[in-house]
Structure 1
Amino acid sequence: MTVPDLRTARLRLRGLEPTDTEAIVRVFADPDTSRFLAADLSDPDQCRASVERRLAYTGPDGTGHWVVERDGVVIGLAHLRPSAELSGDLVEIGYFLDPAHGGQGLATEAAAALLRHAFTALGLPAVWALVHESNVASRKLVRRLGFTDVGGGEHYGGPHRVLVALPTALGQWHHVELWVPDLARAEESFGWLLTELGWQEHQRRRDGVSWKLGVGYLVVQQSPALTGATHDRRAPGLNHLALHAGPPERVDQLADAALAHGWRPLFADRYPHTGGPDHHAAYLENADGFEIELVAESPRVTRPG
């Protein structure tokens, strides 16, 4: 389990280490830092026990606990981890800042860095926050970061608001357009496969058709401006498209069924680990030389109890 370093204009977020224990005790020395928590972490013994529990974390790679540093000094603690309060595999954000460093936007800066990591590096579909009803400052902070209040309940021993942040479309792909020599042939292979993966037909015109999933869409078009009749995936340009395809058994099913829909297998002698021993995927090529990689989900990591 690795926790990456995250940098902002003023802060460094790095993985929590045993040698940080006394610095964290100082962060929580002011009772205000933990007044919305079930435990009083201004008590050094309770704080040290909390740090030990955080150090024992064994959750999914890329999640865990960070110390927040400014100019080499530990001024806070933050986490991004599967929620122990919300059901399902929901990832929750948390942040604590030494009150001596409050009022400068540093908690917002640290939390924003964790959100970027969650959506860009980890590809999470959502990040959740549980904020005590009386914690007005934190409720304002999460709203500044784009969280939406979706309800409330008893969590961590008190009344909390439940809030969620979703990825924005900024920086995500809008569409990909493939020029093909034969529209009907491309539609047979791409249309079948994309539909099997949950895409829906988006737009259709005389010389092209597109399928959409989420914010982006894929176009295949037989353009009158096409200057060639073949696609060479080994030449400069597009090599292949790679798509998430569910658990390994679903990838196996699609790889078999694809043979009846204009696809042929690539690297069949190394299937399903062509990309390495920990990468389960099917590589397919259609009649026009376009390659698709169907990538299986990695095994789930059991979240800590």
Structure 2
Amino acid sequence: MTVPDLRTARLRLRALDTTDTEAIVRIFADPETSRFLAADLSDPDQCRASVARRLAYTGPDGTGHWVVERDGAVIGLAHLRPSTELSGGLTEIGYFLDPAHGGQGLATEAAAALLRHAFATLGLPAVWALVHESNVASQNLVRRLGFTDVGGGDHYGAPHRVFVALPGAAGHWHHVELWVPDLARAEQSFGWLLTELGWREHQRWRDGVSWKLGPGYLVVEQSPALTSTVHDRRAPGLNHLALHAGSPERVDELAAAALEHGWRALFADRYPHAGGPDHHAAYLENADGFEVELVADAPRVTRPG
């Protein structure tokens, strides 16, 4: 399991270690820190047991428990992990800050770093926060970070508000436009492949057509302003498009069927590992020289515990 270092303007979030135990005990010595928890972690024995449980975590890579450091001193604790209260493996965020460092926006800064990691690095579809009904400060914090209150219920032995954050659009691609020398040929190859992958036709006009999946879309256009009829994927510019294509078996099916829809196989002698021994993908090129890489999902790793 890998818990990466995360940096902000004032903080470092790093993986919790056994050597951090007494620093965490000192943070929770103030009863205010665990005021809204089911356990009284101002009791050193309960706190050490809590740290031990966190250290025993064996969840997915990139998730787990972090200590929050400022100028080398441990001032907080945070987590991003599958929820033990919400079903379906939903990912839950949590954070605790030494009250001596409160009022400076540090808890918000740490939680924001975890949220960016969740969406930008892990690609999670949502992050959940369970906040005690009486913890107004924490409810205000998650609202500042863009969480939405979606209801309430009894969690961790007490009434909690349930909040969810979804990825924003900033930084994600809006659309990609390819200028092609022959629109009919492009439709034959791209239209078939994108439809097989779940895209749907989005717009059509005299010189072009687009397909959409989620918020982004792909355009192919035979523009009257085109200055060449040749695309060279090895020249500066677009080399290839890479698309998630499902299981390795689904990639194999698409790679075989693509040969009947205007595509030819690239690097066939090294299929399916032309991109490396741990990378299952099909590389295809259409009649106009545009390359597409169909990438298989990584196999799920089952972890003990």
| TM-score grouping bracket, smaller chain normalisation | over 0.9
Cα distance per residue 1:241-267 (max 9 Å; x no partner): 111111222212211221221111111
Could you tell me which residue of structure 2 aligns to residue 18 of structure 1?
18
Local SS of the residue matching 1:110:
helix
SS at match of 1:243: strand
Partner deviation per Cα, 1:214-267 (whole Å, 9 max, x = no partner): 221111010111121121111111111111111222212211221221111111
SS at match of 1:137: helix
Distance 1:302 1:76 in 2: 30
CA distance in 1, matches of 2:216, 2:274: 28
Aligned counterpart, 1:83: 83
Corresponding position of 1:263: 263
Query: What is residue 164 of structure 1 aligned with on the other side?
Result: 164
1:123 corresponds to 2:123: yes
Who is 1:290 aligned against? 290
1:2 maps to a residue whose letter is T
Measured in 2, the distance between the counterparts of 1:291 and 1:157 equals 55
Residue 272 (structure 2) pairs with residue 272 (structure 1): yes
CA RMSD of aligned residues (A): 1.4
Number of the residue aligned with 1:59:
59
Partner of 2:213: 213
Matched residue, 1:153: 153
Please give the alpha-carbon distance, in whole angstroms, between the structure 2 residues aligned to 1:27 and 1:70: 14
Residue correspondences, number? 305
Superposition deviation, residue 126 in structure 1: 1.0
- Counterpart residue number, 2:105: 105
**Residue identity matched to 1:219:** V
Distance across 1 between alignment mates of 2:143 and 2:302: 30
Separation in structure 2 between the aligned mates of residue 19 and residue 197 of structure 1, nearest angstrom:
48
Distance 1:101 1:304 in 2: 37
Counterpart secondary structure, 1:265:
strand
Gaps of 5+ in 1: none
Distance 2:64 2:303 in 1: 11
Cα-to-partner distance string for 1:61-98 (whole Å, 9 max, x where unaligned): 11111100111111100011111221123211110111
Whether the 8 Å contact between 1:59 and 1:301 is mirrored in structure 2 is: no
| Contact 1:57–1:304, Cα closer than 8 Å, also in 2 | no
Question: Following TM superposition, by how much is the alpha carbon of 1:120 offset from its aligned partner in structure 2, in angstroms?
Answer: 0.9
Q: Given residue 208 of structure 2, which amino acid in structure 1 is its aligned partner? A: G
Runs of 4+ in 1 over 6 A off after TM superposition: none
Residues 4-41 of structure 1 show CA distances to partners (whole Å, capped at 9, x for unaligned) of: 11111111111111111110111111112112222211
Whole-angstrom distance in 2 between the partners of 1:149 and 1:304: 34
Question: Percent identity among equivalent residues?
Answer: 88
8 Å Cα contact 1:80-1:93 kept in structure 2: yes
TM-score, normalization by structure 2: 0.96
The letter of the residue matching 1:140 is N
Match in the other structure for 1:47: 47
In the other structure, the counterpart of 1:230 is: 230
> 1:82, 1:303 within 8 Å by CA — same for their partners in 2?
no
Shift of 1:182: 0.5
Amino acid at match of 1:90: L
1:229 partner letter: T
Amino acid at match of 2:38: A
Query: Aligned partners of 1:150 and 1:272: how far apart in 2?
Result: 44
Q: Which residue of 2 aligns with 1:250?
A: 250
Superposition deviation, residue 278 in structure 1: 1.5
> Which residue identity does 1:88 align to in structure 2?
G
Using the TM superposition, give the Cα deviation of residue 304 of structure 1 relative to its aligned residue in structure 2, in angstroms.
Answer: 7.1
Residues 99-146 of structure 1: per-residue CA shift (max 9 Å, x gap):
111111110110001111111111111111111111111111101100
Distance in 2 of aligned mates of 1:298 and 1:40: 41
Q: How far did residue 302 of structure 1 move?
A: 4.2
Q: 1:38 to 1:303 in 2, by over 3 A?
A: farther
Give me the whole-angstrom Cα distance separating, in 1, the residues matched to 2:72 and 2:147: 30
State the TM-score, normalized to the length of structure 1: 0.96
- 8 Å CA contact 1:59–1:302 kept in 2: the answer is no
The 2-side partners of 1:256 and 1:63 are apart by: 37
Give per-residue Cα distances to partners, 1:136-174, cap 9 Å, x unaligned: 111111011000111222221222211110111111111
The answer for the alignment partner of 1:133 in structure 2 is 133
Gaps of 5+ in 2: none
Q: Which amino acid aligns with 1:157?
A: G
Q: Which residue of 1 aligns with 2:193?
A: 193
Whole-angstrom distance in 1 between the partners of 2:108 and 2:51: 22
* Deviation at residue 303 of structure 1 after TM alignment: 6.8
**What secondary structure, in the 3-state scheme, does the structure 2 residue paired with 1:143 have?**
helix
- Matches of 2:125 and 2:212 in 1, distance apart? 17
d(CA) in 1 for partners of 2:304 and 2:33?
25
